[in-house]
Amino acid sequence: MPTGNTTINFGVTHTKSEDRITVTGQAAILATSQVEAWVRAEASADHSADEHMVEALEVRAGNIVPGVGFDIFVHCENSFTYGVWNLSWAWL
């Protein structure tokens, strides 16, 4: 099962409630692969590990491109957020 870590950056102001990041370099991924992504409870440059655990971020993966990668979509359920958040992902 391939796994990895990435970050998503909502910028310096509280003006965005959703964003996405593209994960590439997944040569073996298929259109039928199952992809999962989640917030990793590890401090970033902008948020503590505790903030990573309690911020209401909805994380989903999709838009699989066979032999290439996929997108991770993040939505802040409480309104807007800012800064860098740590994410992890896996697929099979």
pLDDT, tens digit, 9 for 90 and up, residues 19-46: 999 999 999 999 999 999 999 999 999 9
State the number of CA atoms in the 13 A half-sphere of 32 facing the CB.
0
- Per-residue pLDDT at 15 exceeds 90: no
Whether 90 contacts 40, CB under 8 Å = no
User: According to the model, what pLDDT value does residue 29 have?
Assistant: 98
pLDDT, tens digit, 9 for 90 and up, residues 43-70: 999 999 999 999 999 999 999 999 999 9
Handedness of CA 28, 29, 34, 39 (dihedral sign): positive
Counting the structural domains of the chain, the total is: 1
Work out the average pLDDT over 67-82. 95
CATH assignment of the domain containing 36:
2.60.40.2080
User: According to the model, what pLDDT value does residue 82 have?
Assistant: 95
Give the range of the structural domain holding residue 33, as residue numbers without chain letter.
Answer: 3-91
84-91 β-sheet, strand order: 3-9, 84-91, 35-39
User: With bands split at pLDDT 50, 70 and 90, how would you rate the model's confidence at 14?
Assistant: confident
